[in-house]
Amino acid sequence: MSTKIKVIAPAKINLTFELKGLFEDGYHRVSSLMQSISLADLLTFDIERNDSPGIELKAAKGKFTSEFPISPDNLIAKAIRLYLSSMEKPEPLKVKVEIEKNIPIGAGMAGGSGNAAAALLALNAYFEERADQGNALKAAPFSQDELLSMGSKLGVDVPFSFLGGTARAEGRGEILQALSLACDNQALPLHMVLAKPRHLHIATPWAFKKYDQFEDKLSLSEKLKDRGITDDATGFACQNLLAGDQEKAITAFGNDFEQAIFPDYRELKGIKQRFMNLGARVCHMTGSGPTIYAIARDTEHAVQLKEAFEESVLKETTISCAAKSDPVDLFVVQTLEHGVKILD
């Protein structure tokens, strides 16, 4: 008899992204404020003990399903294999996964990492249920720390996809410190519009290389000196979110990558400027791009920003009669307090 488990896997954005130099091995030292958002994939796992074990991936409905890569190298399949191989006595399982892909592919929002975290969570839930039924198990289910360790082997964003919510990331991005906001904290949720040029993908290694080659770099903290921020924009944002001061916190949002990437991708700078002209509170690129987020006052304002953006693009195209540029996918979202989560 098979067990069905549904998992929601939220996207992630970087509200701040600071590059703090290099480690001795050449990797970049990162400081970032990471945030789960309401744009999410939905994965349905059908798991059963079977003498003919295997993994079957199937793309279901979803805006970006057609672009979803179904292959043995998919992070979902890798996560399943890693989980089972980590058991003291691996069990022969047939795992079928149906993916509703709502997060754009290559958007820099940890869609693949969230899917991997969802797979680990689903398998752990399966073995937890079997343990509750009195089945003798060896080395499963795993603890949260063990799952986080597994996740780190699959990708730097997988552990955050487990924890979700709001967290500060340091080191290479693997050192996470969750921000525990009080129930009456007024700093969250944040409401925003995401903009992702449909056919634009930016390779993270290329982005780091461009940043290293970029002359006259000005760090995020240096740009914000006039606001009393000296050398830790991420820390300033965290401190004020914890204090419930949303207005102060968002003044520290930003991204060190923008100055190096925007000269090569002027459309991203144009998207940012358009949102600011339309009344966004702040607007920045997340991670190495290409997704841009624009902070709104509330849900209604976010919807207005999205509609105004669409109207302004349509008006420009109509007036100029120019060839259409790459379409931009827009999403109205808000922040979440959780990462991957099993649905009842």
pLDDT at 220 > cutoff 90: no
pLDDT band per the 50, 70, 90 thresholds, residue 129: confident
Name the pTM for this structure. Answer: 0.92
Does the domain spanning 191-334 belong to CATH 3.40.50.1820? Answer: no
Q: pLDDT of 292-326, one tens digit each?
A: 999 999 999 999 999 999 999 988 766 544 445 78
Task: Give the chain's mean pLDDT.
Answer: 91
Q: What is the structure's pLDDT at 183?
A: 74
Q: Where in the chain is the domain with CATH 3.30.230.10?
A: 3-180
**Residue 110, marked binder:** yes
Q: What is the structure's pLDDT at 323?
A: 47
Q: What is the structure's pLDDT at 86?
A: 94
Average confidence (pLDDT) over 268-294: 98
Q: How far is CA 195 from the centre of its chain?
A: 14
Alpha helices in the chain (DSSP H): 75-85, 111-132, 144-154, 158-163, 204-213, 220-223, 233-242, 246-250, 258-261, 266-277, 299-320
Q: pLDDT of 48-59, one tens digit each?
A: 998 889 999 998
Q: pLDDT of 194-210, one tens digit each?
A: 999 999 999 999 999 99
- 187, with CB counted inside 10 A (0-12, 13-18, 19+), is buried
**Residue 85, marked binder:** no
Please, what is the Cα angle at 311 between 307 and 313, to 5 degrees? 120
**Residue 111, marked binder:** yes
Candidates 3.40.630.30, 3.30.300.30, 3.30.230.10, 3.40.50.620; CATH matching 3-180: 3.30.230.10
**Residue 195, marked binder:** no
pLDDT at 239 > cutoff 60: yes
| Most confident range, picked from 136-140, 185-189, 255-259 | 255-259
pLDDT at 228 > cutoff 60: yes
Q: Where in the chain is the domain with CATH 3.30.70.890?
A: 191-334
Q: What is the structure's pLDDT at 342?
A: 97
Active site residues: 12, 157
Q: pLDDT of 92-120, one tens digit each?
A: 999 999 999 999 999 999 999 999 999 99
pLDDT at 221 > cutoff 80: no
**Residue 109, marked binder:** yes
Q: H/E/C letters for each residue in 117-185?
A: HHHHHHHHHHHHHHHHCCCCCCCCCCCHHHHHHHHHHHCCCHHHHHHCCEEEEECCCCEEEECCCCCCC
